Structure 1
Amino acid sequence: VDIDWEFPRNTTQRDNHALLVSELRAEVDKLDPPLLITMAIGARLGSDMTFDHAILKEKLDWFNVMTYDLYGAW
């Protein structure tokens, strides 16, 4: 399961995002076999500053870094 929430803009959204991830982890772990949970995050400094990193580090299996906009003609 890949989560792509771009991006929590305030503390309420940050807390709701952490709650979603925590509840999803609890349900996915009941499956046999359990699924992986991943999350897409921005590669730019500051794009993920509103995420609850302590919860995400504990509940997610890995992060997919969105690097498609790091280089271009702009």
Structure 2
Amino acid sequence: MPVLTPVNTLDPPLNLPGVAHAICTADGNFMYEEARRQYELRAHMANRPIDAANEEAQTRAAARRQYVACLSSQGYRIVYDR
């Protein structure tokens, strides 16, 4: 799990870090499924085969963008422990 740090210490985040992580993980999971569905629809409309590796890369990227945007709206930024 990434470390969530508040963006502004004067204006506290909406939820506790664990709650925000759970909410944003659910948002990211939903976006993953939606991006997969959209990729398959575009491939079908273009009448081309589905490239599984490209589909996975695009759906993961969409899910990550959604997760980061959700955390930002909750008042957090992500700091990864390396």
TM-score range, shorter chain: 0.3 to 0.5
Give the greater-gyration-radius structure (CA).
Answer: 2
- Normalized per residue, the structure richer in helix is 2
TM-score under structure 1 normalisation? 0.35
More strand by share: 1
